[in-house]
Structure 1
Amino acid sequence: MNELDTRAERFLESIRAEGEAACAAIREETEREVTGRLDETRRAENARVERTLRFETERARTRANRDLSAARMAARAKLADQRQKIADETFAKAKAQLADFAASDKYAAWLQTEAAALAEALGENANLSVRSIDLPLLKDVKLPAGTTLTADDSIELGGLKGANAAKGLAADDTLAARLNAQHEWFLENAGLEINI
């Protein structure tokens, strides 16, 4: 029996060796399958993470640009308000100085010179308008033939308005008109640009 036992033992060893080889092959195949699927899952997950990262980065950039744009607009509005406040204060002071000028002794000579120049520019049969308190200042001014002087109390600070209907000419040479004409120049040349 010894030989039979030996054969049986060899047969069992052969079966065991085949089983172990099959198990090793299965383990190897399983490892390859698991590794392949893990690699595929890693690639898919990395791609998803990259897409999510790009999307979130773009969303954050868009949000930051929107916030920056809103901040710039708010800063521009604040600067525009400050610029307008400075301009308003400056023109209020200029208006007060023009009112002081209109109340000074120099105003009469200036008004007479301006009335003569405006009447000359408008020609004969023109009409000049001044504040009613300024009419006495122009009584001795030599004006072209047919030129009339009328009171116009809508003239706030002083100066003249003129018209020649026959020639279709009109002029506003009031101190308020001269001051208003300086607004654009002031904003362009006062160094109050809004650059953000």
Structure 2
Amino acid sequence: MNELDTRAERFLESIRAEGEAACAAIRTETDAEIDRQLDEARQAQQAKAEHTLHFETERARTRANRELSAARMQARAKLAAQRQQIAADTFAAARTQLAAFAAGKDYAAWLQASAAALAETMGESGTLYARTADLPLLQGKLPAGVAMTADDTITLGGLCAANPATGLAADDTLEARLDAQHDWFLQNAGLEITI
């Protein structure tokens, strides 16, 4: 019986060894599968994180660009308002100086020179228009055939002229001269808006 016991014991040992080898193989296979699945999950999560990071980065960049654009627009609007205010103040001061010029002693000579130039340009049958206050300054100073008419829409001074026969018209008022300087002033005053 001894031999039978020994055989049985060897048989059991063989079964145990086979079982342990099978268990070890299953454990190895299970560990490999777990590692593979963990790697896949890690890669999927990393790809998802990279996608989310890229998406959020682009969203933040877009938001920052919008905010920068809005800030630039506000700055431009503010600068444009300041530019307009400077121009308005400058032209108001110029208007005041023109009014002082029209009330001064040099105005009569300037007005007579302007009248002579306009009368020559308009030719016979031309009409000059001036403020009522300026008519006495031009009495007897116009060439023959040129009529003089009061026009109180001219506020600062100067003259307008027209000749219906030739279709010519001219505006040499101080207002027109001042208005003609707006574009030049904005281009040359160094008030560009660059942001």
Give the equivalent residue in structure 1 for 2:5: 5
What is the Cα-based RMSD across aligned positions, in Å? Answer: 0.8
Displacement after TM superposition at 1:131 (Å): 0.2
Q: Following TM superposition, where does structure 1 have runs of at least 4 consecutive aligned residues deviating by more than 6 angstroms?
A: none
Equivalents in 1 of 2:149, 2:142: separation in Å?
A: 15
Equivalents in 2 of 1:51, 1:86: separation in Å?
A: 52
Equivalents in 1 of 2:17, 2:38: separation in Å?
A: 31
1:55 aligns with 2:65: no
Identity score, percent: 70
TM-score, L = length of structure 2: 0.98
Amino acid at match of 2:6: T
Displacement after TM superposition at 1:3 (Å): 1.9
Displacement after TM superposition at 1:53 (Å): 1.0
Equivalents in 2 of 1:191, 1:3: separation in Å?
A: 117
String of CA shifts for 1:54-101, please: whole Å, max 9, x gaps.
111111111110110000000000000000000000000000000000
String of CA shifts for 1:131-159, please: whole Å, max 9, x gaps.
0000000013132x321000000001000
Tell me, which stretches of 5 or more residues in structure 1 are unaligned? Answer: none
Amino acid at match of 1:83: R
Equivalents in 2 of 1:108, 1:142: separation in Å?
A: 13
1:151 aligns with 2:150: yes
Give the equivalent residue in structure 2 for 1:131: 131
Give the equivalent residue in structure 2 for 1:169: 168
Displacement after TM superposition at 1:5 (Å): 2.0
Matched residues, number = 195
Give the equivalent residue in structure 2 for 1:17: 17
Displacement after TM superposition at 1:4 (Å): 2.0
Give the match's secondary structure for 1:72: helix
Tell me, which stretches of 5 or more residues in structure 2 are unaligned? Answer: none
Give the match's secondary structure for 1:111: helix
